């Protein structure tokens, strides 16, 4: 049964890769998280400056340790620093990185990338700033349309709040209540419709498996 499930996921991955490439992204697919890590690292130039957007997929890869121990200028947002002003300054510097590595909240079947952020330090550089953006996403991020993308984001918001220990109502309820509190993680939402403005800048690795939230 697992073989059939993997076949189905490969079909999904191939289909969305074709759509994304038509939308002027540079997309490809791999079979699993280990292959995604190998491909991702191979795409980063030696000595390049690198920033990270929050991503459980990248965390599961152990990419932070790779960047800390490799020949990279790493804008390390995962240091044990107070959020203001030190982490904010790292976020600002990350806008000038050679590479931004990140995940995405949802990919529509039309090839749109949909994301919601707490601070904006992920969605902003996805749009403009770093010379290269590499996005890694499992096939579980694929949704039918924009409406389903927004629905998916609302469904995963409580898990992300729980993961980063934000004191929000959804951590107690398990579902989004469209809160109005300081720790709210749903403050900035973006849609990247295509990659045509800076063709080749946004590269997408699709994993033919479930990855992240």
DSSP bridge partners of 135:
102, 204
Q: Evaluate whether residue 201 is within a structural domain.
A: yes
Residue 62 lies in a domain: yes
pLDDT at 82 over 70: no
Could you tell me how far CA 45 lies from the centroid of its own chain? 20
Instruction: Note whether residue 82 is domain-resident.
Output: yes
Q: What local confidence, expressed as pLDDT, does residue 73 receive?
A: 96
Predicted pLDDT at 1? 57
Q: Which of 2-11, 12-21, 152-161 has the lowest mean pLDDT?
A: 152-161
Residue 23 belongs to some domain of the structure: yes
Predicted local distance difference test score (pLDDT) of residue 124: 96
What CATH number has the domain bearing residue 145? 3.40.50.10420
Containing structural domain, residue 83: 2-207
Query: pLDDT band at 81, cuts 50/70/90?
Result: low
The token duo for 50 is 């690198």
Residue 169 lies in a domain: yes
Residue 180's pLDDT is what? Answer: 86
CA angle 62, 123, 118 (to 5 degrees): 85
User: What is the structure's pLDDT at 88?
Assistant: 86
Model confidence at 166: pLDDT above 90: no
> What is the 8-class DSSP label of residue 200?
T
Is residue 47 in some structural domain? Answer: yes
According to the model, what pLDDT value does residue 175 have? Answer: 83
Report if residue 213 sits inside a domain: no
30-67: per-residue pLDDT in tens? 999 999 999 999 999 999 999 999 899 999 999 999 99
Express each pLDDT in 94-146 by its tens digit: 999 999 999 999 999 999 999 999 889 999 999 999 999 999 999 999 999 99
Per-residue tokens: 163: 């993961």
pLDDT per position as a tens digit, 171-188? 888 888 888 888 888 899
For residue 65, give Cα distances in angstroms to 35, 61, 159.
17, 9, 24
pLDDT at 34 (0 to 100)? 97
Q: How far apart are CA 44 and CA 42, in angstroms?
A: 6
Number of domains composing the chain: 1
Cis check: omega of the bond before 67, within 30 degrees of 0: no
Asked if residue 212 belongs to a domain, the reply is no
DSSP string covering 100-157, please? Answer: EEE--SEEETTS-EEEEESSSTTHHHHHSSSSEEEEEEEGGGEESSHHHHHHHHHHHH
CB distance 205 to 42 below 8 Å: no
């Amino acid at each position: 049964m697992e073989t059939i499930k993997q076949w189905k996921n490969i079909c999904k991955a191939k289909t969305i890769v074709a759509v994304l490439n038509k939308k002027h992204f540079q997309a490809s697919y791999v079979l699993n998280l280990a292959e995604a890590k190998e491909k991702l690292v191979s795409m980063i130039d030696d000595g390049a400056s690198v920033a990270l957007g929050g991503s459980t997929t990248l965390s599961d890869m152990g990419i932070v340790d790779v960047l800390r121990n490799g020949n990279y200028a790493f804008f390390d947002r995962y240091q044990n620093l107070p959020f203001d002003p030190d982490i904010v300054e790292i976020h600002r510097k990350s806008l000038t990185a050679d590479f931004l590595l990140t995940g995405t909240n949802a990919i529509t079947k039309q090839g749109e990338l949909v994301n919601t952020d707490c601070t904006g330090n992920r969605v902003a550089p996805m749009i403009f700033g770093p010379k290269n953006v590499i996005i890694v996403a499992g096939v579980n991020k694929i949704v039918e349309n924009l409406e389903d993308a927004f629905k998916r984001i609302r469904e995963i918001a409580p898990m992300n709040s729980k993961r980063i220990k934000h004191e929000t109502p959804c951590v107690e309820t398990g579902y989004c209540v469209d809160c109005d509190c300081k720790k709210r993680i749903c403050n900035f939402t973006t849609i990247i419709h295509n990659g045509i403005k800076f063709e080749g800048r946004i590269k997408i690795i699709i994993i033919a498996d479930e990855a992240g939230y």
